[in-house]
Amino acid sequence: MSALLAFLRFELFRLLRSWKFLAITVGFPVVFYMLFLGERNSSQIVDGTMPWRVYLMVSMCTFGALVAALNAGGSRLATERSTGWARQLRITPMPAWSYVVTKVAASMLVVLPVLALVELVGLTFGGVRLGVGQWFALTALLWVTALPFAVLGVFVGFLVHAETAYPVVTALMFVLGYFGGLFNPVSQMPQALQSAAKALPSFHHALLALEFLSGQTLGASNWLILIGYTVVLGLGLVWKYRVEEARGLA
């Protein structure tokens, strides 16, 4: 267990020491929040329940979780596989499964400060006002429900090569972001895109937080879809890792 915790700490510090990683994961959602906030009246009510400044903050928190998880697990993992780092870890005392678990855990830990920073910008720049308990509960909800993004990032890292990892990760970020309704309210999208949004985890991740802030009961279907994505992606990740381990690549 001590070796596993040491490896997790090492992975986390490696991510946080990379200025490129930090610039992308923090820069994208924060800059987009500032840009899109001015597109309409920040007090405008979206879908009859939520001021635009709050709706956008939640959306950019979801987008920030996506960016952090996909970059932490996707492109970096693909690069490690190409350099043989994963194979070197196999001679350490750590169990075989620890590499995958640590990658997912490190991605989740990186997501947390990104959420907090976007919320801080929402508070200071966007004028979002919530109670202290609401801020903590919102952060916890957004963080827990970001697990499918972390699993997706690691899965992508095992699927793609180092040369194609960055474009694939970038495409996933913006496909899940745009079609998930994170840059524009889903209700204002064409009907076909509304249907597509409701099939994506990014939509349900943000919707749970919006339901919480509007005082609604958190939809069971949103939880089930996020859990379903986590299970399916997790099974795919385990399968891919075992294939590569059998071939001596992981």
pLDDT tens digits, residue range 98-109?
Answer: 778 888 888 898
Closest by Cα among 72, 74, 75 to 26: 72
The Cα–Cα gap between 16 and 13 comes to: 5
Predicted pLDDT at 38: 75
Tens of pLDDT, residue by residue over 226-249, are 999 999 999 999 888 888 776 655
Tens of pLDDT, residue by residue over 124-170, are 998 899 999 999 999 999 999 999 999 999 899 888 887 888 888 88
Judged on CB neighbours under 10 Å (0-12, 13-18, 19+), 152 is buried
Mean pLDDT of 9-34: 75
pLDDT at residue 3 tops 60: no
pLDDT at residue 66 tops 80: yes
What's the pTM value of the predicted model, to 2 decimals?
0.88
Closest by Cα among 93, 104, 88, 94 to 250: 88
Residues of the chain with pLDDT > 90, as a percent, come to 41
Q: Tokens standing for 197?
A: 């949004």
- Which residues are paired to 50 by β-bridges? 46
Residues of the chain with pLDDT > 70, as a percent, come to 80
The Cα–Cα gap between 202 and 65 comes to: 9
Predicted pLDDT at 161: 82
Q: What is the dihedral of CA 26, 29, 35, 37, to 10 degrees?
A: -120
Range of the domain at 128: 2-246
Q: At what angle do helices 147-159 and 201-213 cross, to 10 degrees?
A: 160
Predicted pLDDT at 241: 81
pLDDT at residue 4 tops 80: no
Predicted pLDDT at 18: 66
Predicted pLDDT at 140: 97
Domain count, the chain: 1
Lowest mean pLDDT among 89-103, 205-219, 231-245: 89-103
Closest by Cα among 43, 181, 189, 63 to 114: 63
pLDDT at residue 19 tops 80: no
**Average of per-residue pLDDT values in the chain:** 84
